[in-house]
Amino acid sequence: MTNRPVAFTGSRLDRADNLRADPDALAGMMNWKARLLALDGLMPQMDDTGGLLWGSLADAPEDAELVFLGLDPAGDGPAKPCFAAVPQQGDAAPRISNPRVWAAMMALSADDLAIYGGARSIVNWHARHRFCAQCGKPTRIAKGGWQRDCPAEAGGCGAQHFPRTDPVTIMLVERDGELMLGRGKGWPEKAYSALAGFVEPGESMEEGVAREVLEESGIVVHSVSYIASQPWPFPSQLMIGCHALAEPGDIDVDTTELEDVRFFTREEVQAAMNREEGAPFGAPPPQAIANHLLGWWLERTGS
């Protein structure tokens, strides 16, 4: 794998799970020493240096639910407890094409981006899950923000709800030294990337790869292997990077999802990754795991 870290990974915060389950310990940390991540809805606010802006718990909106993000060991003295406030509304249909999101992703350091990504995922989940999926009653925050409870004593059913992460396979499909990449509908001109899709209930990662590739391209694959993963907070996915080998056969594009699917040579992939003028396609941005997967493949197949 390339030396560059995968975006949204590598957070320096200690999640301190032992403290999440201790209400007294959490209450004892909620004082003037604690830090609050400054968010504008789900967007990060920046300080004068271009890093994440932090305030105190006094900056939280009145009656806001607070999520314990973890302990920050950076700086002098004891590790500082860090929190984020749940916004009034979540993002029911997040769009990664939002230019503000991409601007923030490009501006933040790798460490800050990891902290922001985790915070965005968890507070967005809370904002969109204020009611019990089992009985419909209002839920309340628990375990430092890493759980929501439907309180039985308030007429609820007592169910416990936990933040979800949706697994998504994203795969490099190789045949005879070439890679199959796809182009989604409405993508920027010439943009291509690895095929991807959600893992469905009752299937393994390998089965999800094979099914998605077959559905989107009509190509049968085998020898699926894992490469790397990336948390993707839009809204809360785990991108599982894989490699697979393709059987012979013609491409049959699923035009309900994709505009085009084709194979590219190693030279064409290299030209795209180098951002060369005249490259046959535009490579995924560096913040996307697809970019890392292409870099991995180029290193693996290099002389």
Phi-psi region of 113 (alpha: psi -120 to 50; beta: other; left: phi over 0): alpha
Domain residue spans in the chain?
A: 17-128, 166-301
pLDDT (tens digit, 9 = 90+) per residue, 117-138? 999 999 999 999 999 999 999 9
Per-residue pLDDT for 95 more than 80?
Answer: no
Taking the whole predicted model, whether its pTM rises above 0.85 is answered as yes
pLDDT (tens digit, 9 = 90+) per residue, 229-284? 999 999 999 999 999 999 999 999 999 999 999 999 999 999 999 999 999 999 99
CATH code at 166-301: 3.90.79.10
